[in-house]
Amino acid sequence: MSSPNALGVAHPATVASRPGHVSLAGVSKAYAGRTVLDDLSLDLVQGEMVALLGPSGCGKTTTLRILAGLERPDAGRVTIAGSDETTAPARSRNIGVVFQHYSLFPHLSARENVAYGLRIRRVDRGGRTQRADELLELVGLAEHGGKFPHQLSGGQQQRVALARALAIQPQLLLLDEPLSALDATVRARLREEIRRIQRQEGITTLMVTHDQEEALTMADRVGVMLDGRIEQLATPETLYNEPETPFVSQFVGVVNRIEGTVAGGRITVFGAGLRVANREPVASARAVALIRPEDISVQSARVGGAAGVVVEHILRGPLSSLLVRHGADHLRVDLATPMAGSYPVGTPVSLGVTRTRTIVETPVETPAES
């Protein structure tokens, strides 16, 4: 078993071995006859952060609202810390929620906003002021307690919202697209700050987001949702490197689509046989391999034997992308920027694959004309 990290919180391997703390079991929900959640089950263990990632309409926000008690499931069960909360109203659940648009009270100071939940719970003035000041210091706003929301930046307001959610010492913290309203620089910084605080406080947390980078960099586990179900739930590393379905492979990260021949559970791409890693068996003899840009290798080739030609360079910081024309297709190849400079536009190249497995997508069968 893994030992706790520098913040005193166990690594994911340790977290995964703990008993379930929050559970959704067989939860379904429909609106106007349209199924939004379809027999969804999810367990969160004490102290971990799970992110639900997916396109609009996949059911991730409905999942969060059902946990918060803002929606009631049509079927299934919600359990928090061993208590059945399926029909319990939101006000009786010990849950903190941070919304996308802060939702601070404009007429209250930062300190008063943080202490609001404690005031509702009839904590005495001294106790709630002390707790609010502790949390403002935790989120780096100790000197801003007397300011009103309009006097704070967007990032500072979101920190106040986080402190307010933590003030009641919730059993569960819910983050609803918490950073999407912020600019990129603030978002990256606050992402790290929220993760640090979540680990330090050891709070079980569910975050919903459409931002892949946000999910992969913050969560212990990520669930990719589609049509009201979780397609795959895994650590960020496993999700990115070992997707189980074509949807997950294409939704998390970038892929090239390369046609190949399937035989004996392998697909041939650039002369190499890759193991087909789809969760469901693939019966088609022709399929499209989904290969990430960093998993394609290039080397200079003579014009006569070239598999492709470099047609564009795209600088992405420490990495650069080569756009390579391969037959009728254009493939993206990601290399370290200094290495990419060795292949100027017009260079003929040979292509290879550095992975031994891949997810494939089979062509959609079209009905024969009568």
Domains of the chain (ranges plus CATH)?
12-241 (3.40.50.300), 256-361 (2.40.50.100)
Amino acid 284: pLDDT: 83
Most confidently predicted of 4-18, 70-84, 100-114? 70-84
Q: What is the mean pLDDT of the chain?
A: 88
**In this predicted model, which residue has the larger pLDDT, 70 or 103?**
70
Is the pLDDT at 105 greater than 80, yes or no? yes
- Band of residue 84 on the pLDDT scale cut at 50, 70, 90: very high
Segment holding 53, helix H or strand E = strand 49-53
| Residue 209, CA distances (Å) to 61, 89, 144, 240, 265 in order | 9, 24, 29, 16, 35
Q: Residue 366 — very low, low, confident or very high, per pLDDT cuts 50/70/90?
A: very low
Q: What's the confidence (pLDDT) of residue 120?
A: 86
pLDDT of residue 251: 95
By DSSP bridging, strand 348-353 and strand 357-361 are unpaired
The pLDDT score that the predictor gives to residue 364 is 52
Name, in order, each residue with C-beta under 8 angstroms of 349's C-beta and a sequence gap of 6 or more.
Answer: 298, 299, 300, 301, 306, 307, 308, 309, 310, 322, 324, 343
Position 271 confidence tier, pLDDT thresholds 50, 70, 90: confident
Task: Please give the pLDDT value at position 358.
Answer: 96
Which range is least confidently modeled, 13-17, 73-77, 180-184?
Answer: 13-17
Question: What percent of the chain is predicted at pLDDT more than 70?
Answer: 91
Give the pLDDT band (50/70/90) at residue 186: confident
Residue 3 in this model has a pLDDT that exceeds 70: no
Q: In the numeric block, which tokens belong to residue 237?
A: 């590393």
pLDDT at 6 over 50: no
Please, are residues 106 and 147 in contact by the beta-carbon 8 Å criterion? no
Residue 125 to residue 262: CA distance in whole angstroms? 70
* pLDDT greater than 70 at residue 42: yes
Q: 288 and 360 in contact (C-beta within 8 Å)?
A: yes
DSSP structural state of residue 86 = T
What is the mean pLDDT of the segment spanning 125-144? 91
Name the token pair of 272. 């190499």
